[in-house]
Amino acid sequence: MLANKELPVQIMDTIDIILEACNYLLDEAYENSYTMFISRSNDISKGLDLIYSSTIDLKEETIINIPRMCKNITYSLQEIIKYYDKDIIKLKNKLEYELIPLVKDMKQDFYYWCCVYPDEEKLINYYESERIPLSCNEYVDNYEKRDQYKYDLSIIIIAYNKLDYTKLCVNSLLKHLPKNINYEIILINHGSTDGTKEYFESLHPTKQLDILENGWGLSAVKRIVEGKYVLAISNDVLVTENAISNMLKCIKSDNKIAKVVPTTTNVSNFQSIVRNFSNLDKMYEFSSENNVSDMFRWEQRTRLCDPISLSSSKIFYSSSGVIPATYYIGTNLQLFPDDKCSLILRRNGYKLLLAKDSFCYHFGSITLRDEIKKSNEHEYYNEGRKSFAKTFGVDAWGTGFCWDYYLFEQLKCDCTGHVDVLGINCGMGSNSLKVREKIKEDVKNLDVYLYNVTDEMEYYKDLVGISDRSDYFNNCYDSIEKIEGKYNYIIFDGNIEKYKNILSMLQNIFDKLLKQNGYLCIKTKNSNIISNLKFEYEKITTTENWIILSKNSKVQY
Which of 53, 55, 57 is closest to 45 using CA atoms? 53
Query: CB under 8 Å to 102, separation ≥6 — which residues?
Result: 69, 72, 73, 76, 217, 220
Report pLDDT for 206: 98
Q: Is 92 helix (H, G, I), strand (E, B) or coil?
A: helix
Report pLDDT for 465: 87
pLDDT digits (tens, 9 = 90+) for 248-279: 999 999 999 999 999 999 999 999 988 889 99
**Residue 1 pLDDT more than 80?**
no
Q: How far apart are CA 497 and CA 275, in angstroms?
A: 40
Helices (H), 56-136: 66-82, 88-94, 100-111, 120-125, 131-135
Report pLDDT for 478: 86
Report pLDDT for 324: 94
pLDDT digits (tens, 9 = 90+) for 305-362: 999 999 999 999 999 999 999 998 877 777 899 999 999 999 999 999 999 999 999 9
Report pLDDT for 556: 44
- Return the minimum-mean-pLDDT range out of 221-230, 241-250, 353-362, 366-375: 366-375
Report pLDDT for 60: 62
Q: How far apart are CA 371 and CA 387, in angstroms?
A: 19
Whether cis (ω within 30° of 0) applies to the bond prior to 118 is yes
Report pLDDT for 368: 54
Give 59's pLDDT tier (boundaries 50, 70, 90).
low
pLDDT mean across residues, the chain:
93
Give the number of other Cβ atoms within 10 Å of residue 93's Cβ: 17
**Residue 492 pLDDT more than 90?**
yes
Report pLDDT for 553: 58
Give 62's pLDDT tier (boundaries 50, 70, 90).
low
* Cα three-residue angle 116-120-126, rounded to 5 degrees: 50
Which of 182, 154, 163, 307 is closest to 238 using CA atoms? 307
Distance of CA 88 to the CA centre of its chain: 37
HSE of 411, CA atoms in CB hemisphere, 13 A? 30
Give 179's pLDDT tier (boundaries 50, 70, 90).
very high
Q: What is the mean pLDDT of residues 108-117?
A: 94
Report pLDDT for 275: 83
Q: How far apart are CA 468 and CA 486, in angstroms?
A: 15
Give the number of other Cβ atoms within 10 Å of residue 90's Cβ: 15
Kindly list the structural domains of the chain, giving each domain's residue range(s) and its CATH number in brackets, ordered by start.
Answer: 6-134 (1.20.120.660), 136-392 (3.90.550.10), 405-553 (3.40.50.150)
* Cα three-residue angle 14-319-121, rounded to 5 degrees: 65
Give 373's pLDDT tier (boundaries 50, 70, 90).
low
Q: How far apart are CA 74 and CA 44, in angstroms?
A: 9
Q: What is the mean pLDDT of residues 398-413?
A: 97
**Residue 557 pLDDT more than 70?**
no
**Residue 374 pLDDT more than 90?**
no
Give the number of other Cβ atoms within 10 Å of residue 295's Cβ: 15
Q: How far apart are CA 358 and CA 445, in angstroms?
A: 21
Q: What is the mean pLDDT of residues 386-410?
A: 95
Q: What is the pTM of this model?
A: 0.94
Q: How far apart are CA 272 and CA 441, in angstroms?
A: 16
Handedness of CA 76, 80, 82, 87 (dihedral sign): positive
Instruction: Specify the pairing of strand 546-550 against strand 540-543.
Output: antiparallel
**Residue 106 pLDDT more than 80?**
yes
- Return the minimum-mean-pLDDT range out of 104-113, 188-197, 239-248, 528-537: 528-537
Give 5's pLDDT tier (boundaries 50, 70, 90).
confident
Q: How far apart are CA 198 and CA 163, in angstroms?
A: 11
Report pLDDT for 365: 62
